[in-house]
């Protein structure tokens, strides 16, 4: 079964440095999500794309976080500068679009575990 690809799997960075995460969704999935999951908590939606357009970024700290999905396929999430509180798992997920996909689950990648020192 096709999977959502994420890289890197682990990332350690010093505070004030820049860091970037990459996600390649399942082929044909128009909707792409970035979630942040702090240890012991549930995933929190950071940004949601429909094709190349951002449809929700209300919880994205825009002073330091940015996300793009230029060609409507793969996506990059960037943090600059990283802060200690950004240490978390960053999960990418994708889903089909349209009413027929409404009851379909999100397909998640394995995530990027970020540690900021």
Partner 1 sequence: AQKITQTQPGMFVQEKEAVTLDCTYDTSDQSYGLFWYKQPSSGEMIFLIYQGSYDEQNATEGRYSLNFQKARKSANLVISASQLGDSAMYFCAMREPYSSASKIIFGSGTRLSIRP
Sequence-ordered list of residues with C-beta below 8 angstroms from that of 16, at least 6 positions apart, any chain = 81, 82
Residues in 32-71 that interact with partner 1 by CB under 8 A? 33, 35, 40-45, 48, 50, 55-56
In the complex, least distance from residue 17 CB atom to partner 1, rounded to whole angstroms: 23
Q: How many CA atoms lie within 13 A of 18 on its CB side?
A: 7
In the complex, least distance from residue 102 CB atom to partner 1, rounded to whole angstroms: 5
SS3 state of residue 38? coil
Count of residues interacting with partner 1 (CB under 8 A): 26
CB 110 within 8 Å of CB 9: yes
Instruction: Indicate whether 12 belongs to the interface with partner 1 (CB under 8 A).
Output: no
Among 77, 91, 114, 116, binds partner 1 (CB under 8 A): 91
């Amino acid at each position: 079964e096709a999977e959502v690809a994420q890289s890197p799997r682990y990332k350690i960075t010093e505070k004030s440095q820049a860091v970037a995460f990459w996600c390649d969704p399942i082929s044909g999935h128009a909707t792409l999500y970035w979630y942040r999951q702090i240890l012991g908590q549930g995933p929190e939606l950071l940004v949601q794309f429909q094709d190349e357009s951002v449809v929700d970024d209300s919880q994205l700290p825009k002073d330091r976080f940015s996300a793009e999905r230029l060609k409507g396929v793969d996506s990059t999430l960037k943090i600059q500068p990283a802060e200690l509180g950004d240490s978390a798992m960053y999960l990418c997920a994708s889903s089909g679009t349209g009413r027929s996909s409404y009851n379909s689950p999100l397909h998640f990648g394995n995530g990027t575990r970020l540690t900021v020192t």
